[in-house]
Copies of this chain bind each other. A is one copy, B any other.
């Protein structure tokens, strides 16, 4: 009972953090602002999440769950035809994309608390993407690459475009550019966009 209540409270905190991120961005998502939103003292919040990084990692894990319909980042979760809508969806939620990108940037420093999270996440995501590509194309994509060669490129394009788009949303059509890349993988140039 106490445990159920604690998990309920945890979920409430994550939803509140998501709201604060959407309104104030990564930098504005302080533990104090999230605590205020759920009616906890900062000390009470620290009981659930000892640091801002721990809270934000939990938010990103929760997003992965929702994005994959509850399947998490298991290999079965990835389907190639879901990626295009996912990127389109991301273009409508800059706050969470900013949080992902900022935390990823920080994580490449030695000893950063998010380093293990991202290292494991990328190993899992590359594996899942590879499996999805293999399911669609077999051993060789039309453009000539193996699924295992294409998987890290697919992930890199998604991440790299997010930085360009966050910095300059007027100049960078993130979903359009991602479609261009899928066209390259499929070996069929889509021609110039509108």
Instruction: Mark A residues whose CB is within 8 Å of B.
Output: 25-27, 98, 101-112, 115, 118-119, 122-123, 126, 140-141, 143-146, 148-150, 152-153, 155-161, 163-164, 166-168, 171-172, 177, 180-181, 183-185, 187-193
Taking a contact as CB atoms under 8 Å apart, the answer to whether A145 and B189 are in contact is yes
Interface SS of chain A = helix
Taking a contact as CB atoms under 8 Å apart, the answer to whether B167 and A156 are in contact is no
A183's partner among B111, B144, B180 (CB-CB below 8 A) is: B144
A27's partner among B109, B123, B161 (CB-CB below 8 A) is: B109
Taking a contact as CB atoms under 8 Å apart, the answer to whether B123 and A171 are in contact is yes
List the B residue with the shortest CB-CB distance to A159. B160
A103 shortest CB reach to chain B, Å: 7
The oligomer's copy count stands at: 2
Asked if A167 meets B109 with Cβ closer than 8 Å, knowing A149-B180, A149-B192, A184-B185, the reply is: no
Taking a contact as CB atoms under 8 Å apart, the answer to whether B167 and A153 are in contact is no
Q: A26-B108, A140-B189, A153-B180 are in contact. List 15 more A-B contacts (CB 8 A).
A: A26-B109, A27-B111, A98-B109, A102-B105, A102-B106, A108-B163, A108-B167, A119-B168, A122-B167, A144-B189, A148-B192, A153-B161, A153-B181, A155-B164, A159-B159
CA distance A115 to B143 in the complex (A): 36
Taking a contact as CB atoms under 8 Å apart, the answer to whether A106 and B106 are in contact is yes
Taking a contact as CB atoms under 8 Å apart, the answer to whether B25 and A109 are in contact is yes
CA distance A143 to B188 in the complex (A): 7
A47 shortest CB reach to chain B, Å: 27
